[in-house]
Structure 1
Amino acid sequence: MNELTMMQRVVVWFLPVVFAITVHEVAHGWVAKKYGDNTAFMLGRLTLNPIRHIDMVGTIILPGLLLLTGTGFIFGWAKPVPVDARNFKHPRHDMAIVALAGPMANLLMAIAWALLVRLGAIISAEYISLPLIYTGIAGISINLVLALINLLPIPPLDGSRILTGILPAKLAWQYNQLERFGFIILLVLLYTQVLGAILAYPMYVAQKVFFSIAGL
């Protein structure tokens, strides 16, 4: 998207970023409700209204800065949907499924954006087709990044909840003590570009698959 102006890039990325983050959180709450926890539902968080999920730093400021600085690596987060594992019949197992729901939602959205790109490709009018194609590519990219980052086993990312459901109880408890340092670890990995290095090959493979679905 190098040929786009900065304002065009902001317009192209805005909806994909907001929906990727919003639907990710709603997926957690929706699956939690299916497993017996109504916390998110009672607090009005099972809605696609992004205003209910926006975190000023994670949804607006950080993605905006990453986009404006041209890092080529854009991600963010919303206000976490509250989940009370005490309401689950099998807390660690059910929490792992709830955690997996977020990245799975992002992968499903990536498919939807890929189909939008295909739709854009068959429309002859460029003023319609190009916005669809550019927005679809952005949608694929942001959803793949969010899915891959959240699958990392760094507390409190979704990957750590999934791993907690697999580990023996004592080891899982010890492992989750890292949660207070998780955000710092993530920022250090991002700043040192280690995060980009870790995700580079999985992202390459995932983009290849989803761009092929998009017909690119």
Structure 2
Amino acid sequence: MLLSLLSTNPLAFVIIALALALSLTVHEFAHAYTADRLGDPTPRRFGRVTLNPGKHLDPFGTLLLLIAGFGFARPVPINPNNLGRWGTMWVSAAGPLSNILIALLCAGLLVLLKPAAVLGSILLTVLSVNIVLAVFNLIPIPLLDGSRIIGALIPSLGRSLAQFEAQPFSFVIVMLFILLAQGPIGNIIRTVQGWVLGAVGA
């Protein structure tokens, strides 16, 4: 999907690719930093408490993102036993919350500065990318942050989700589900995007 921009609009491709790399990195760093602060040394042991994109971006997940329009970064390893129920919830929520904060920052700059040309386009792209990441990750689908937040709020459901995620083919099943449900998922994301972009006058 994004790869088609490489020949038609190289500048837009570079802006989107950099916005994705930045936003995914901050998302995963937020998970790692929160877990570290709440007493779980696992992310630090794996070198994940860093803003170095190389530690967070997954080559296959990034390629999938460029080709299919959805992908993934490297999940941050945590030990729920070190975090407890509520700690695990906050670690799960930290990723989407970081994207919401970036989106709010970009929206504020767009409203206050009303930048033109390239800067306005960059801010709008970073805003849109972070809306997508926040909304997508909050959808309560297994392996996504939304399901882990709900799992922490409803322990019995959380145990069932954890059992499913431990299965060898859970990743493939979830990817197939996202692929088949990309229409409704896309509609949800576009609706939220429309609200936010309308609010900033974009």
Whether these two folds match at TM > 0.5 is yes
Measured at CA, do residues 105 and 15 of structure 1 come closer, stay the same or move farther in structure 2, by a change above 3 Å?
same
- Separation of aligned partners in 2, 1:166 and 1:201: 23
Query: How many percent identity over aligned positions?
Result: 36
- Separation of aligned partners in 2, 1:186 and 1:168: 21
Q: Secondary structure at the match of 1:165?
A: helix
Does 2:144 align with 1:154? no
Match of 1:186 in 2: 174
Match of 1:12 in 2: 15
Q: CA deviation at 1:120?
A: 6.5
Stretches of structure 2 that go unaligned for 5 or more consecutive residues are: none
Q: In 2, are the aligned partners of 1:111 and 1:210 still within 8 Å (CA)?
A: no
- Separation of aligned partners in 2, 1:48 and 1:213: 30
**CA-to-aligned-CA distance 1:62-121 (integer Å, 9 cap, x gap):** 22214xxxxxxx443221122112212xx2221111101111111111122323444663
Q: In 2, are the aligned partners of 1:100 and 1:162 still within 8 Å (CA)?
A: yes
TM-score w.r.t. structure 2 length? 0.83
Map of 1:1-216 to 2, 5 A cutoff? 5-59=8-62, 61-66=63-68, 74-88=69-83, 91-118=84-111, 121-122=114-115, 129-169=116-156, 171-179=157-165, 180=167, 181-192=169-180, 194-201=181-188, 203-204=190-191, 206-216=192-202
4+ runs deviating over 4 angstroms: none
Measured at CA, do residues 54 and 168 of structure 1 come closer, stay the same or move farther in structure 2, by a change above 3 Å?
closer
Measured at CA, do residues 196 and 185 of structure 1 come closer, stay the same or move farther in structure 2, by a change above 3 Å?
farther
Q: CA deviation at 1:213?
A: 5.0
Q: In 1, are the aligned partners of 2:102 and 2:127 still within 8 Å (CA)?
A: yes
User: What one-letter code is carried by the residue in structure 1 that aligns with 2:130?
Assistant: N
Measured at CA, do residues 160 and 11 of structure 1 come closer, stay the same or move farther in structure 2, by a change above 3 Å?
same
Q: Secondary structure at the match of 2:153?
A: coil
More helix by share: 2
How many residues are paired up?
Answer: 195
Measured at CA, do residues 132 and 111 of structure 1 come closer, stay the same or move farther in structure 2, by a change above 3 Å?
same
- Separation of aligned partners in 2, 1:164 and 1:201: 22
TM-score w.r.t. structure 1 length? 0.78
